[in-house]
Amino acid sequence: MKKLALHWRILIGMALGVAFALLVTQFPWGKQFVIDWIKPFGNIFINALKVIAIPLILGSLISGIADLNNLTQLSKMGIRTISLYILTTVIAVSLGLVIVNVVRPGAAISEGTRAQLVSSYEKQAGDRITAAEKQKQSGPLKALEDLIPENIVAAASSNGNMLQVIVFAIFFGLGLILIPPDKAGPVKGFFAGLNEVILKMIDLIMLAAPFGVFALLAAIVAEAPGTDLFVALLWYGFSVVFGLALLYCFYILLVYVFARRSPSFFLKGIIPAQLLAFSTSSSAATLPVTMERVEEHLGVDPDVASFVLPIGATVNMDGTSLYQAVAAVFIAQAFGMDLSLGVQLGIIVTATLASIGSAAVPGAGMVMLVIVLAQAGIPEVGLALIFAIDRPLDMCRTTINVTGDATVAMIVAKALGKLGDPHEKKWDERLDEVIGE
């Protein structure tokens, strides 16, 4: 029997998860049942993805850079990648600002609703503000200082330090290029092999993806807060989602114009990673799958994918930056503040930097939003206004974050002559290969 394509399996898993949670939460014991007996399987699935993130970065980045063989290629790739990341982020923030100024979602919030929202979510907002305070207290060059780990084992022991591991891997790869080939050979071989093993592990984990997303979505639905305040936030949610949808079309256009690949080719290749990003709300947890899809299904050379994608997962968050711009102005509107052009231009800078600084984990964009608010003189307690619908918006913005990384990977690969035909195997072939006939 012909097996369903992977993205259909994942979509069915998601739909069943939602339906299951809606059904069982009708019973008084339903919510607790999902939390106790279903949610842990979602956590197991996310952990299985996360556990391979650091070895994947080390294996793929070191062997990718060592394969480049010279430093000019590396600097060409580096400059293109960083420029495209910054450019797309600035475009995303600007798009968010235009939309929020046209739609004016904050004007739809009455004073009563505002007070109700603030009192309902004050505590949660306070927690995020405290978390952001810690980041704010550090000096202007702290982010740069933090790039260099003082101990690689310590750095590699936390997914929060991915950027440090990336810097170490690039540095190590450079060393490998510069030593004699007979000495470099075995080390290169080791990391190339490690990379292969990790890619195979991703195949195995993906076998469980439909079940993993079932559990994740069931838990999200069961734990969702009440919907009574949703209506007030409808226009705000619409502004974010509309902006993200436009950004999505923009990526498709970029891929078409600069990488010469059709929208259907791009979407078919990347959709499983998008669905996982949506289900997990974490670019970092999705990274292994993004890499596998981009290399094997979109035809990006592993040298490019292994450099562009891990950096993108940690610093390039276009969806997050658009959301931060919309949210900041929405909160200002709800408090009856009129933001001058100068302040809004300032938001372009702070939201760009805040999205770079956001960790690739659920809810991180909201913590960094505090910094955008503070810079623009908007009351931080306004965070309470947007709390009720942050999770669904996080799911959407993470999907866009991952799509943005894949877009840049394709454009950089094309520019360097490293975009080939995908060596895609049909999903059922891969499945048979993994589980055996």
Is 164 a residue that touches ligand ASP (CB under 6 A)? no
**Residue 8: CB atoms within 10 Å:** 14
Nearer to ligand ASP, 222 or 364 (CB): 364
- Of these, 210, 365, 382, 404, which contacts ligand ASP (CB under 6 A)? 365
Tokens representing 297? Answer: 């299904």
- Of these, 363, 379, 392, 422, which contacts ligand ASP (CB under 6 A)? 363
Say how far apart CA 349 and CA 328 lie, in whole Å.
13
Candidate segments 37-45, 46-54, 142-150, 362-370, binder of ligand ASP by CB under 6 A: 362-370
Residues 383 and 128 sit within 8 Å (Cβ to Cβ): yes
Whole-number minimum distance, CB 74 to ligand ASP, in Å? Answer: 26
Is 401 a residue that touches ligand ASP (CB under 6 A)? yes
Nearer to ligand ASP, 164 or 279 (CB): 279
- Of these, 17, 362, 382, 404, which contacts ligand ASP (CB under 6 A)? 362
**Residue 66: CB atoms within 10 Å:** 22
Whole-number minimum distance, CB 9 to ligand ASP, in Å? Answer: 23
Say how far apart CA 137 and CA 13 lie, in whole Å.
43
Say how far apart CA 106 and CA 148 lie, in whole Å.
42
Is 358 a residue that touches ligand ASP (CB under 6 A)? yes
Nearer to ligand ASP, 74 or 384 (CB): 384
Whole-number minimum distance, CB 291 to ligand ASP, in Å? Answer: 15
- The radius of gyration computed from the CA coordinates of the chain, to the nearest angstrom, equals 22
Spatial neighbors of 109 by CB under 8 A, at least 6 apart, are: 117, 232, 333, 334, 385
Spatial neighbors of 226 by CB under 8 A, at least 6 apart, are: none
Nearer to ligand ASP, 400 or 413 (CB): 400
Say how far apart CA 397 and CA 403 lie, in whole Å.
10
Question: Is 300 in a helix, a strand, or coil?
Answer: strand
Size of the site for ligand ASP (CB under 6 A): 16
Whole-number minimum distance, CB 192 to ligand ASP, in Å? Answer: 29
Output the residue with the shortest Cβ distance to ligand ASP: 365
Spatial neighbors of 405 by CB under 8 A, at least 6 apart, are: 283, 290, 308, 309, 312, 313, 316
User: Which of the residues 262 through 321 are near ligand ASP (CB under 6 A)?
Assistant: 281-283, 317, 320
Nearer to ligand ASP, 63 or 161 (CB): 161
Whole-number minimum distance, CB 31 to ligand ASP, in Å? Answer: 24
**Burial group, residue 28, by CB count within 10 angstroms (0-12, 13-18, 19+):** exposed
Is 398 a residue that touches ligand ASP (CB under 6 A)? yes
- Of these, 68, 252, 361, 388, which contacts ligand ASP (CB under 6 A)? 361
- Of these, 7, 50, 114, 397, which contacts ligand ASP (CB under 6 A)? 397
Which residue type is seen at 63? S
Candidate segments 133-141, 167-175, 289-297, 391-399, binder of ligand ASP by CB under 6 A: 391-399
Strand (E) or helix (H) holding 430: helix 427-435
Nearer to ligand ASP, 195 or 316 (CB): 316
User: Which of the residues 227 through 246 are near ligand ASP (CB under 6 A)?
Assistant: none
Nearer to ligand ASP, 346 or 392 (CB): 392
Say how far apart CA 314 and CA 283 lie, in whole Å.
8
Whole-number minimum distance, CB 327 to ligand ASP, in Å? Answer: 10
Candidate segments 8-16, 100-108, 220-228, 353-361, binder of ligand ASP by CB under 6 A: 353-361
User: Which of the residues 24 through 63 are near ligand ASP (CB under 6 A)?
Assistant: none
Chain centroid offset of residue 106 CA: 27
- Of these, 155, 275, 328, 360, which contacts ligand ASP (CB under 6 A)? 360
Nearer to ligand ASP, 330 or 427 (CB): 330
Spatial neighbors of 75 by CB under 8 A, at least 6 apart, are: none
Whole-number minimum distance, CB 398 to ligand ASP, in Å? Answer: 4
| Length of the chain in terms of residues written | 437
For every residue of 191-230, DSSP letters joined together read HHHHHHHHHHHHHHHHHTHHHHHHHHHHHHHHHPPPSTTT
Residues 232 and 115 sit within 8 Å (Cβ to Cβ): no
Candidate segments 154-162, 197-205, 251-259, 396-404, binder of ligand ASP by CB under 6 A: 396-404
CA dihedral (282, 288, 291, 294) in degrees, to 10, reads -70
Tokens representing 156? Answer: 């590699």
Is 351 a residue that touches ligand ASP (CB under 6 A)? no
Which residues in this chain contact ligand ASP in the complex, by CB under 6 A? 281-283, 317, 320, 358, 360-365, 394, 397-398, 401
